[in-house]
Amino acid sequence: MISVGFDFDVFVWNPYVANLILRLHDHGCSLCGVEIIPHTPIMITADIEGSFKIWDIRNFSCVQTFRTEEKKVSSFCGFVAIHSNKRLVGVGRKLTFFDYEKIEQPKLTDEMPIVTALYNPTTFTFITVSNKFVKIWDAAKGEVSR
């Protein structure tokens, strides 16, 4: 079982054990929601300032963080995951929509995870390596150069 609330942490419980199993520290304010995506090892948490964290529940590591562009404190009171549309909806003063598994720029995004990334301060470039591709990026422009 997973619980969140006014604490800044995510609590992992086992109903057959009397004590807390794990406490995940990574948010900077009160949490307003948690959801495990069915048939995946993914858990999503959100806080009231609009920060989302994507967790891998196999090892309880945070694999991604993103936030709303709105800078207001207490902008969220919760969120809803619409699995069929692969969409998250932040609920607060207004609805904020996030689509996941939607590739915005397919030429810049790899289907496979990045294995390593190296930065060269002399040429102001960095290299990313996945199982299929090696890409050289222009760090100033944020574009693939080769």
Q: Say whether both 26 and 79 belong to one domain.
A: yes
φ, ψ of residue 53 to 5 degrees: the values are -125, 135
Over its length of 146 residues, how does the chain's per-residue pLDDT go in tens digits?
A: 899 988 899 999 998 998 999 999 888 889 999 999 888 889 999 998 888 999 999 998 998 888 877 665 557 888 898 888 888 888 888 888 888 766 566 666 666 678 888 998 899 998 988 878 888 988 888 888 88
Give Dmax over CA atoms of the chain in angstroms: 56
Count of helices and strands (H, E) across the chain: 0, 14
Q: Say whether both 121 and 60 belong to one domain.
A: no
Burial class from Cβ neighbours inside 10 Å (0-12, 13-18, 19+) for residue 27 reads buried
For residues 125 and 135, the answer to whether their CB atoms sit within 8 Å is no
The reported pTM is 0.66
| Domain span including residue 17 | 2-99
Q: Say whether both 126 and 87 belong to one domain.
A: no
For residues 27 and 43, the answer to whether their CB atoms sit within 8 Å is no
> Distance of CA 95 to CAs 28, 48, 78, 83, Å?
22, 13, 10, 17
Number of domains composing the chain: 2
